[in-house]
Amino acid sequence: MAVKNVEEMVKRDWNHPSIVLWGVRINESRDDHDFYVQTNAVAHKLDPTRQTGGIRYLTHSELLEDVYTMNDFIHSGGEIVLRDQKEVTGLEEYVPYLVTEYNGHMYPTKRFDNEERLIEHAMRHIRVLDAAGRDEHISGCIGWCAFDYNTHMDFGSGDRICYHGVMDMFRIPKFAAYSYKSQLPPDREVVLEPVTIYTRGERSIGGIVPLTVLTNCDYVEFIYGGQKLGRFYPDKERYPGIPHPPVEIKDIPGEWGTDWREGEFIGYVGGKEAARRKFSANPIATRLVAVADDEVLSADEPDATRVVYKLVDQEGNLLPFANEIVKFDISGPGEIIGPKEVALIGGCIAVWIKTRNEEGRITLTASGPRFTANEVEIDVR
| 7 flagged as catalytic | no
- The answer to whether the beta carbons of residues 380 and 332 sit under 8 Å apart is yes
Helix (H) or strand (E) holding 70: strand 68-71
Amino acid sitting at position 13: D
Q: How distant is the alpha carbon of residue 165 from its chain centre?
A: 6
From 28, 116, 295, 358, active-site residue: 28
- Amino acid type, 90: G
The reply to whether 101 belongs to the active site is: yes
The active-site residue out of 65, 101, 115, 193 is: 101
State the DSSP string of 5-23. HHHHHHHHHTT-TT--EEE
Provide the b/e sequence for 272-306 (b: ≥16 CB within 10 Å). eebbebebbeebebbbbbbebeeeebebeeebebb
Quick one: CA torsion of 13, 17, 18, 23, rounded to 10 degrees? 40
List Cβ neighbours of 15 (8 Å cut-off, separation of 6 or more).
none
Q: Beta strands 341-343 and 348-355: pairing type?
A: unpaired
Give catalytic residue positions. 28, 101
